[in-house]
Chain A
Amino acid sequence: MTIREIINTIFLFLLYLTLQILIFRNLVLFDLAFCFVYVACILLLPAELSMTLTLLLAFGVGVVVDMFYNTLGMHAAASVLLAYLRPYLIRFQAAQRGFESRIVLSIHEMGLRSFFYYILVLTFVHHFVLLFIEANSLMLLLPTLVKVFFSTLFTTLSIILIQYFTKN
C-alpha cells in the first residue's frame, strides 16, 4: 500500500460517511428505497488490505453510522458481515477472469460489468441483513423484501454514479 493509496482511502471514508450522514440519511424514495451509500467505504478498500484491519474498519464505520441513526449495532453487524464476505467474492471474480497479479477495485480497472456485479451482490447481502435486523421479525417478510430490492438498486446506482465523479 502506497502513501497515495492510504490518502485515497481516508478521503474515501470521509466522502462516503459525509454523504451518508448529511444527504442520503434524509433521502428515502417512496418510503421504499433507502440508500446506504456508506457500504462503498468497505467495498472499495484496497483488496490486499488484511482481513483483520478490514473487519475492524467495517465495525468502526458501522458504529459511526449507527450513531447517527440511533440504532447501535445494526449497521455494525451488517457491515462486519459485508467485510467478511468481501474477499470471497473478490477471489471468485478473479478466478473467473483468470489470474491477475493485483486487483484494483474501481470501475475503471474492472469494467462496468464486473464492478456492477461486485457492488450489487455485496450490497444485497448487506441490505438484506440490515433491513431484516431492523424489521426484527419475519412478519413483514414481503414488505421487507420489497424494501431490500429497491434499496439495493438505489444504493448500487448511487455508488456507481459517485464512482464516475471521483476518478481518483
Chain B
Amino acid sequence: MFELFQFIARSRNFILFILLEVLSFYFIINTNNYWSVEFFNTSNYYAAKFLEWSNKAKEYARLREVNAALAEENRRLNRQLVQFQQSNPKGQTSYKTDSIFASRFQFTVARVINNTTQHPDNYMTLDKGRADGIRPGMGVISPTGVVGKVKLCSEHFSVVTSILHSEFMISARLTRANEIGTARWDGVDPRRMKMLYISRNTKVARGDSVVTSEYNSTFPPGILVGRVLRVSESPDQTFHDIRLLLATNFSNVSFVYVVENKLQEEQDQLEKQIEPIKK
C-alpha cells in the first residue's frame, strides 16, 4: 500500500497530465456535454460581452462592406416592393396588371465616384457602365430619393445628369393633393427645388411629400423627390410658387440604384408613332 502511495507521489505529474488529457478528449468526443453547451462557448455571458466589445471596433473598420451589403439588400427590397405595388394598383380591384408590366423595373447598385453640386448643370459619375447593363436614359435613385438620369455610358463607368441640372424636369405628384406637376431645379441651392404647374386652387401644405408620378417611364412611380418647404402665390400667377426640400442630400450620396425600365423602349416606340399623325 505504501509503495502505491509512493508511486502516485512520484508520478503525480504524469497522472495529472493523463487526467487532463482524458478530460479534454472527453469534451472533444462528447460535443454535446453539459459543460460545453452551458458554459464554455461563445454564448457565455462574459465571452459574448467581450466579443461584442471587440466587434464594435471591427465593425467600424468594416463600415464600407456593411454599407455595400445594405445597399444590395435595399436593391432587392426595392425591386420586390415596386413589383408588388405595380401588381396591385390602388382602387381598381377589377383591373389586373400584366405581370410583365408589374416587374418592368430592374435595379442595379452603383457607387458614386464623382459628384458635383456647385455648378448650374451638375453631373455625377458611377462606377458601373455598359458591362453591367447600364444604358443611357435609365433613371437613378438613391436610398432616400430621386437622383437623376443616365446620360452617357462607357464600358465601366457612366455619367448621370443629376436633377441639379437646368434642363432636368421630373413629372412629380403631390401625394396629399394627388396633383401632378413638374419638379425642376432653379440652380441656386443644391438642397432646394421648385415645383411648377400646380394650380392655385389646389390645397398644398408645408411638409407634403412629392413623389415621382406614373406619367414617366424612367422612374418607378412613388419615389420621393422632396417635401414642400414653402408655398407662396403671387396674385398675377395661375400657379402656386412651391419650393421643395430635396429628399436626397447630394453632398453625401454614395450608393445609388440605377433603374432599368425594360418596357421603356416599347413604350417610346409606340408613343413616337403618333407624332407624324399629330402633324
Q: State the A residues within 8 Å of B (CB).
A: 21-22, 26, 51-52, 55-56, 59, 62-63, 66-68, 70-74, 76-77, 80-81, 83-84, 133
Contact = CB atoms under 8 A, between A and B. Distances in A.
Contacts of A52: 12-13, 16
Contacts of A72: 27-28, 31, 33, 35-36, 40-41
A72 B39 CA distance: 10
Nearest to A59: B20
Given A21-B54, A59-B23, A67-B47, 10 more contacts: A26-B58, A52-B16, A55-B17, A55-B20, A62-B24, A72-B28, A72-B35, A73-B25, A80-B17, A80-B24
Nearest to A87: B13
Contact of B44 (A56, A67, A73, A83): A67
B26 interface: yes
B20 A70 contact: no
A133 B25 CA distance: 9
B42 interface: yes
Interface string B44-81: 10010011001000100000000000000000000000
Contacts of B47: 67-68
A21 B50 contact: yes
Contact of A80 (B21, B41, B42, B54): B21
12 contacts: A51-B13, A55-B20, A56-B20, A63-B40, A67-B42, A68-B42, A68-B51, A70-B42, A72-B40, A76-B23, A76-B27, A77-B21
A76 B54 CA distance: 24
Contacts of B25: 73, 77
Contact of B20 (A21, A68, A76, A133): A76
Contacts, number: 66
B23 to A, nearest CB: 8
Nearest to A74: B28
Contacts of A77: 21, 24-25, 28
Contact of B24 (A26, A76, A83): A76
Interface in B84-136: none
Residue among B12, B13, B20, B27 facing the most chain A CB atoms (10 A cut-off): B20
Contacts of A67: 40-42, 44, 47
Nearest to B12: A52
A28 to B, nearest CB: 15
A56 B25 CA distance: 16
B42 A55 contact: no
Interface string B139-161: 00000000000000000000000
A66 B40 CA distance: 7
Contacts of A81: 17, 21
Residue among A55, A59, A72 facing the most chain B CB atoms (10 A cut-off): A72
Residue among B21, B25, B35 facing the most chain A CB atoms (10 A cut-off): B21
Contacts of B35: 72
A86 B36 CA distance: 28
A168 to B, nearest CB: 26
B42 A73 contact: no
Contacts of A80: 17, 20-21, 24
A76 B23 CA distance: 9
Contacts of B13: 51-52, 55, 84
Contacts of A26: 58
Contacts of A71: 28
Closest 9 CB pairs between A and B? A73-B27, A77-B24, A72-B36, A73-B28, A51-B13, A76-B24, A73-B24, A80-B20, A72-B27
Contacts of B20: 55-56, 59, 76, 80
Nearest to A69: B42
Contacts of A59: 20, 23-24
Contact of A70 (B12, B24, B26, B41): B41
Given A67-B47, A73-B28, A133-B28, A84 B40 contact: no
Residue among B25, B27, B50 facing the most chain A CB atoms (10 A cut-off): B27
Nearest to A54: B13
B59 to A, nearest CB: 12
